[in-house]
């Protein structure tokens, strides 16, 4: 369990993720030990997590992001979901309800791990969580935030360029 970083090998540390808002989780296998270490690493600004479904990728990212927000290291989390339409599913604009009701299907990981609907509404009301569909990122400049993106298997090169181009000072 070593990481090659800055021209040197360093031992991967066993760390936990979480805080008072989420509770604490610890890694369950060697791959998660590496993931948790990477998420806590302050020297790498861009992190890519891959793995099978159910392996804890999004869970770990959400816990790490909420921990950093709770500690005041960043102003907010910007949650970007690839809103690729599913066959025979209505577009988000046609969903009934207010803005929160339309965004709720995209907020599953936060609803699961950030106190349910009440906890997520609080994060949004306090301006600590933004939910932005990928197509609405053009022209944005995201400063001092954690930019989280999941469900990226259908991203194109242009999508990645759009996403990376939004990152500004302190993010």
| Res 6 pLDDT > 80 | yes
Pairwise pLDDT comparison (42 vs 81), residue with the higher score: 42
Q: Which of 143, 113, 110, 149 is nearest to 129 (CA)?
A: 110
- Residue 29 — pLDDT band, cuts 50, 70, 90? very high
**pTM (2 d.p.):** 0.86
Residue 26 reports pLDDT greater than 80: yes
């Amino acid at each position: 369990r070593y990481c090659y970083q800055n021209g040197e090998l360093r031992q991967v540390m066993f760390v936990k993720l979480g805080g008072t808002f989420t509770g604490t989780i610890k890694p369950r296998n060697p791959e998660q030990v590496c993931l948790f270490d990477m998420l806590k690493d302050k020297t790498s600004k861009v992190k890519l997590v891959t793995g099978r479904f159910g392996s804890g990728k999004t869970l770990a990212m959400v816990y790490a992001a909420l921990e950093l927000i709770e500690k005041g290291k960043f102003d907010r989390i910007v949650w970007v979901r690839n809103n690729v339409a599913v066959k025979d599913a209505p577009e988000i604009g046609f969903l009934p309800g207010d803005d929160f009701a339309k965004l709720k299907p995209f907020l599953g990981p936060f609803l699961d791990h950030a106190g349910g609907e009440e906890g997520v509404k609080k994060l949004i009301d306090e301006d600590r969580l933004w939910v932005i569909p990928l197509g609405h990122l053009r022209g944005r400049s995201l400063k001092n935030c954690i930019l989280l993106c999941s469900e990226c298997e259908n991203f194109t090169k242009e999508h990645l360029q759009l996403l990376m181009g939004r990152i500004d000072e302190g993010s």
